[in-house]
Amino acid sequence: MCCYYLDDYKGAMEHFLREQELEPDVLDGYYRLSNVYLALGKLDEALDQALKVIDIVKDKEEDQSRYYVHLAKIYRRMRKPEDALAAIRTALDKYGYAKANADMHEICLQFGLWAEAEKVMKNWKANRKQIKDWAGKDILRLVMKGEKLKARLWYTDKWPVMDPDDQDLLEIIFGSTDKKFSQELKINRRKVQDALKNHWDLSAPYGNFAFTQFKAGMLDKAKIDASTALTELEKEALPNNRFRTLYETKKARNLALTGRMEEAKFILEKARTLPLCENCKYPSCKDADIFEVEIAIMEGKYKTALEMCDKFSKMWPDETDFIILKNYLVTKGLDK
């Protein structure tokens, strides 16, 4: 596994293929090779290895749900939601996979399968009594579908029992046509403070706060916090990093916020050529699309930004950032 974690994929492939030759009935070689192929974007090869794993574990009584979850991730990358849903359902039926409804709901939202998502949610509610787990997700689905009024009504009713992260996201969405961005500033300021207090990653909260300040016209403060985000981001950088694409996209966004626009666009374009991050469930880098829209906004290219929002919203129907960005563009006089 050392080769894999050092991004030496060729060495990892050779090792895992040799492992399969020596122990053809042991799943580790197939599962790990599937992960290597997935990291390289070789989806057919990743699927072939994953199915070999399933063939080995399918008759075992102990919990094997992680392998079905891995299979579902490959199908999601391949844009095959029905197959992804089937893999998660198998994990639920055979092993009682605890996150099955959450995963299936997420898959449905990713591909805009609204009717199926509603069916999954009904089952989730019936089998999961902790309202906090699903209440926010239920309302976010309405937001994604464009049922804003209904979403607001449900939000008012369910707010006290919702997950705090879902509360924050919905507050930002509903407040994103406020030209002062008071609620978004308040929430992102608190997230920076929480990260400082708990010694969490600082690059993301500082970057998000900086962009909100930019939208609110607080340009000098935005530059300062974006510079802090860049400093914190460099602490995360590694010579071999399976999350390199995320690092590069975040770097591009914060460079743009500090005024280094051409450098930012060059890095963002380069990031699109890199392998997707290890845990990514999407066919391409969604963050790169989000930050491309944000950079267009920073350049004052609002019509272009709106056109990109429309394009990317169709690609990623579950991404609330495009809803927030569209609402911001409304404050700039663009009707959408």
Residue 2 has pLDDT above 60, yes or no: no
Distance CA 18, CA 26 (A): 12
Q: Which two tokens stand for residue 313?
A: 């919203």
Distance CA 84, CA 258 (A): 41
Distance CA 170, CA 322 (A): 13
Report pLDDT digits (tens) over 272-331: 999 898 889 999 999 999 999 999 999 999 999 999 999 999 999 999 999 999 999 988
Measured between its terminal Cα atoms, the distance across the chain in Å is: 49
pLDDT computed for residue 3 by the predictor: 55
Residue closest to 51 by CA, chosen among 21, 90, 12:
90
Residue 336 has pLDDT above 50, yes or no: no
Question: What sign results for the dihedral spanned by CA atoms 214, 216, 218, 224?
Answer: negative
Mean pLDDT of the chain: 91
Contact in structure between 9 and 36 (CB atoms under 8 Å): yes
Contact in structure between 261 and 227 (CB atoms under 8 Å): no
With helix as H, strand as E and coil as C, how does 122-133 read?
A: HHHHHHCCCHHH
What angle do the packed helices 244-257 and 261-271 form, to 10 degrees?
A: 160
Residue at 295: amino acid letter = I
Residue closest to 172 by CA, chosen among 134, 221, 208:
208
For the chain, list the domains and their CATH numbers. Answer: 129-161 (no CATH), 175-336 (1.25.40)
The residue to which tokens 């300040």 are assigned: 213
Report pLDDT digits (tens) over 6-35: 566 667 766 677 776 667 667 888 898 899
pLDDT computed for residue 279 by the predictor: 83
| Average pLDDT over every residue of 109-117 | 97
Buried residues in 136-174 as b, exposed as e (16+ CB within 10 A): bbbbbbbbbbeeeeebbebbeebeeebbeebbbbbbbbb
- pTM for the model stands at 0.91
Q: What percent of the chain has pLDDT over 70?
A: 92
pLDDT computed for residue 238 by the predictor: 61
